Copies of this chain bind each other. A is one copy, B any other.
Amino acid sequence: MLDAREGMHNQSYVHEARLRVRYAETDQMGVAYNANHLIWMEIGRVEYCRSIGIRYRDMEEGGVLLAVVEVHCRYRHPARYDDEIVVRTRVEALGSRSMQFGYELSLAATGKAIAEGYSKHVFCDRTFKPVRLPDQYRHLFQEANVSGQQHTPVG
């Protein structure tokens, strides 16, 4: 596996997704409730995949699930109702049986940091038995991260 920090600050492909804070996502503090940030990370992850040619829905229908085994989130600043949020997603590590995504959430209007975090995943089948990531997907993740940078492959 690639060292996560290395991938984070250098050359890896970063995808930007955008979403708007829903009223349902606010709580009585007047800000987005903390669990929603994990859902936003999921959106970042799915759109990252779509942008490199992997429709997660197809991957899952093909029998490969990306089960979450660990999440971490550091909250920098509250997100408020109707704020537009940018989710910057990258692959921090890619192995044959697991991978890690990193996320930076910020306000679209000002760039202000909202939160950052990561999620670790194992590839598994529908019965949650670990499997290897099929080559077709592996190549797509790698290509996205090595374009023009042949000496710094991810994973």
Contacts and interface: CB of A to CB of B under 8 A. Distances in A.
Given A46-B23, A82-B57, A30 B28 contact: yes
Interface in A18-33: 22-24, 26-31, 33
16 contacts: A22-B43, A24-B33, A28-B29, A28-B31, A28-B60, A28-B81, A29-B126, A34-B68, A34-B71, A38-B38, A56-B82, A57-B81, A71-B73, A72-B72, A72-B73, A78-B128
Contacts of A56: 23, 82
Interface size class of A (residues with CB under 8 A): 35 or more
Main secondary structure of the interface of A (DSSP, over half): mixed
Contacts of A74: 69-70
